[in-house]
Chains A and B, each alone.
Chain A
C-alpha cells in the first residue's frame, strides 16, 4: 500500500500537468472544424470540434429542385454526420494529450478506491 501511495505521489505532478494540457487542448478544439457532405453532394456542413454547426451550404438551385421536406431531412442528417465526425476527432485529439503516466495513475487510484 505504501508503495502504491509513493508511486501515486510521484506521478501526481505529471498527472496535474497532463490534466492542465487536456483542458487547454479541449478549449483550443472549439476553433478547429470538420466538414461533412451529403452522399449526393447537395449539402455541405462545417462543425467545430465542440459540435457546433457554423456553416451550411446548399448547391445552387437545390431549394427549387428538391422538395422542402426531403431537403430538410438531408440538411439535418448532414449536420448530425458533421457532429459525429467532430465528436470522434475531439476524442481522438484529447486522447493523444494524455501521457502513459495518467493511465497508470488512474489504474493505481482505482485499486486504492476499490481496495
Chain B
C-alpha cells in the first residue's frame, strides 16, 4: 500500500517536473534563431513566439528596401520553425 502511494508521489513529481519543463519552453527564456535563405536577416523569437531581435547583415544597405521586408518574414518563419521543432521534440519526449 505504502509502496503504491510512493509510486504515485513519484509519478506526480515526475509529471510536475515535465510540466515545468514544457512551461519553460513555451514562456521562459528559451530563444530560437532563424535566417533568411540569402543570409541577409537573422531573427530571434522567444519560447512564446514573440520577436526578440532582428539583425541585418551589412549587405542590406546595398539592397532595395523592397527586398528587406520579405527577408525579415523569411527569417522569422525560420525562427518559428525552430521553435515548433523544439516544442515538438519536448512533447514527443513526454509521450515515450
Count residues on chain B whose CB falls below 8 Å from chain A CBs: 25
- B37 an interface residue at 8 Å Cβ cutoff? no
Of A10-18, A76-84, A96-104, A106-114, the segment with at least 4 beta carbons within 8 Å of chain B is A76-84
Is A52's CB under 8 angstroms from B60's CB?
no
How many contacting A-B pairs (Cβ < 8 A)?
Answer: 69
Known A57-B69, A63-B64: A79·B55 in contact at CB below 8 Å: no
Chain A: CB-nearest residue to B52: A76
Is A58's CB under 8 angstroms from B69's CB?
yes
Known A52-B80, A53-B51: A58·B61 in contact at CB below 8 Å: no
Residue from A54, A59, A68 in contact with B56 in the complex, judged by beta carbons closer than 8 Å: A68
> Using a CB-CB cutoff of 8 Å, which residues 56-79 of chain B contact chain A?
56-58, 60-70, 72-73, 76
State the main secondary structure of chain B at its contact with A. Answer: helix
User: In the complex, what residues of A have CB within 8 A of residue B56's CB?
Assistant: 63, 68-69, 71-72
Known A59-B65, A64-B61: A76·B70 in contact at CB below 8 Å: no
Chain B: CB-nearest residue to A54: B73
Is A76's CB under 8 angstroms from B69's CB?
no
Query: CA separation between A79 and B58, bound complex, in Å?
Result: 21
